[in-house]
Chains A and B, each alone.
Chain A
Amino acid sequence: MTVFKRKKMNSVVAGHDWKSQLTLQAFVWPALIIVVMISYFPMYGVSIAFKDYNIFKGIAASPIASNNGFEHFIDFFSTESCGRILFNTVYIAFLKLICLTWPPVVLAVLLNELKNARVMKLSQTLSYLPHFIGWSVAYGIFYNLLNPSAGAINVLLQDWGLISKPINFLSEEVYYRPMIILTGLWKNIGWNSIIYLGVICSIDQGLYEALAIDGGNRWHKFRYITWPHLKPTFAILFILECGKIMSGGDGFDQAYAFGNPNNRQVADILDTYIMRTGFENGRYSYSTAVGLFKSVVNLILLLVSNKISKVMTNESLF
């Protein structure tokens, strides 16, 4: 009943006349124009993936590519680097899913367990620091620590006699993936814990008190109250991450900064390959085709993981 009443009231309520409606419509326009211009116009440009794009002819007049327009896709799948790049992309993305999704949850819980408010606030603030800098600065910082000639870690390890020759962490292939994961952790653990801390703050304290009365310990507190509250957020963020698998877990900037000719065998991912073939080699149609393949697979992965999550945990984006 009250619901109906409210609705009826709303329809004659203040601010529902045509003038106000027009203002509201006008409020949407700037964003609408930007989105159409920046996000929708390029969707037409995607058609060059099926054409042999010619700068002078333009998108519409460029001829359809051979093999019914699928030439560039066939081309990509038959290059010898294709398998390696797909493997690198998916591998690093899976490593990120396994290694980087849960530490922010742990940090949020541990931060929340700190009893001294000042210590907690300081820890929080300091843990956000690396988020503000870009990957170029981050690379510079790690370069100082890891480089073979005067890097802090190499100097220390040599001083302590643990190694006789400096290790080139930045260009040896074996160190690439651990380095990406650890620096990724360093950069985002604090920032990504904010959202979980927010959820923990919103939990009803009565629940913890009830558990304490029932004799629950700290583990029970996490297991039966905190985690069930965090799970929906965790699931949503995990699904979103699954939609980034073909982008190497959103890793373009990082891969670009840490990648060099020495570690390219393991560092090259779809995004860096797309940029290289597109901008550096000028193969517009080919690069667009690879990009389209990436976007479509990402979308499918997002939808599939959303579905799986819905069935398994009852949590989903839509």
Chain B
Amino acid sequence: MINKQTAKPGKAWDKRYQAFDYLNVFLMIVLMFVIVYPFYYAVLNSFNADLIRKPSFIWNANWTLRPYQTVFGDVSIINGFINSVLRTVMGTALAVVTCSLAAFALSKSHLKMRALYLTIFIIPTFFDGGQIPAYLNLKSLGLLNTFWVYLVPKMFSFFWMTILMTNFRGIPNELEEAAYIDGASTARIFFGIVLPISLPALATIALYAAVSQWNSWYDTAYFTNSEKLTTLSWILMRTIKNQAFADMANDMHAFDNRAYNPEGVKMATMVVAAVPIIMIYPFLQRYFVKGLMVGSIKG
């Protein structure tokens, strides 16, 4: 796909490796090391039995699963994990549906009041009411302390809709016209023809929505106050905020609790919070890069 295309200019240019190419490969290796090593270090040390004495850099001498047993034995973390998965799956589905429906309608120039709709959709991207008015609004809508507070505010994004709209505009008209002449309704054309051939763009939106849902901690922190609704990303944010205070206490009182290994548990929690969302990418990658390209080039 993309790599074949992009590899071409280099090949057309000169097949021989010059000093520049060696330097380039070297630079990439350094960059990739810098990007990947922090992840490797976190994962490695989450399994490190000697973490309290000395962190491992390359490989662990002694391995342990204790931190993970603690994490998976923690009711609050499990609950947060379930909520995170639920909000990610449901929120992504809702966002994809809402955005693609609107994008399809707005991609048709004969849609009545199209300019008005576009104006209504674009204004909030330039001006937003701010956090407190948003909070008071969610309160008056009765969404505070419900699961809906995770879903409703993230159901629509102008940016996501634009990517889909650009994609729908690129579909040849003849395809839809032929179906219409065969007696298919607009809704049928949309669900039966347009959506299936727009998988790359849909995957792009799904990826955006999923990442935004999974990592959102802000709504849990400010719009809910029940442990039942807690999410993994908030648990983690809360932990690191408390850590800052714990560190200060450490500095001041030289307090050190060696019986328990909180660092390992924290690392394990981090790994558990990072792995699922990173795992999504390989599944969507096939579609993803293509989808974003179409959106960016034509947009």
Binding site for B on A (CB under 8 A): 10-11, 13-16, 19-21, 23-25, 27-28, 30-32, 34-46, 48, 59, 107, 110-137, 139-145, 147, 149-150, 152, 155-156, 170-171, 186, 190, 194-195, 197-203, 205, 208-209, 212, 218, 221, 233, 243, 253, 256-257, 260-262, 274-275, 278-279, 284, 287-288, 291-292, 294-296, 299, 302
A260 with B132: CB separation less than 8 A: no
B226 interface contact, C-beta 8 A: no
- Chain B interface mostly helix, strand, loop or mixed? helix
Q: For the complex of A and B, list the 4 residue pairs with the smallest distance between their C-beta atoms, beginning with the closest.
A: A291-B130, A45-B133, A134-B215, A42-B129
B108 with A24: CB separation less than 8 A: yes
B90-129 contacts to A (CB < 8 Å): 97-99, 101-102, 104-106, 108, 110-113, 117, 120-121, 123-124, 126-129
Given A24-B111, A119-B28, A30 and B102 contact (CB-CB distance below 8 Å): yes
B75 interface contact, C-beta 8 A: no
- Interface pairs (17), CB distance under 8 Å: A27-B102, A31-B101, A31-B102, A37-B152, A39-B124, A41-B141, A43-B133, A45-B133, A110-B24, A112-B9, A114-B25, A127-B35, A133-B215, A137-B215, A156-B57, A261-B245, A278-B131
Cα distance A139–B243 when bound, in Å?
11
Number of interface residues of B (CB under 8 A): 116
Cα distance A287–B132 when bound, in Å?
7
B146 interface contact, C-beta 8 A: no
- Chain A interface mostly helix, strand, loop or mixed? helix
B283 interface contact, C-beta 8 A: no
Stretch binding the partner chain, chosen from B66-74, B179-187, B195-203:
B179-187
B240 with A140: CB separation less than 8 A: yes
Cα distance A196–B275 when bound, in Å?
27
Binding site for A on B (CB under 8 A): 2-13, 15, 17, 20-21, 24-25, 27-28, 31-32, 34-36, 38-39, 41-42, 45, 51-52, 54-55, 57, 97-99, 101-102, 104-106, 108, 110-113, 117, 120-121, 123-124, 126-137, 140-141, 152-153, 155-156, 161, 173, 176-177, 180-181, 185-187, 189-190, 211, 214-218, 222, 233, 236-237, 240, 243-245, 247-248, 250, 263, 266-267, 269-270, 273-274, 277-278, 280-281, 285, 289, 292-293, 296-297
Q: Which of chain A's residues have a CB closer than 8 A to the CB of B217?
A: 134, 136, 253
Given A23-B185, A137-B274, A299-B127, A28 and B101 contact (CB-CB distance below 8 Å): yes
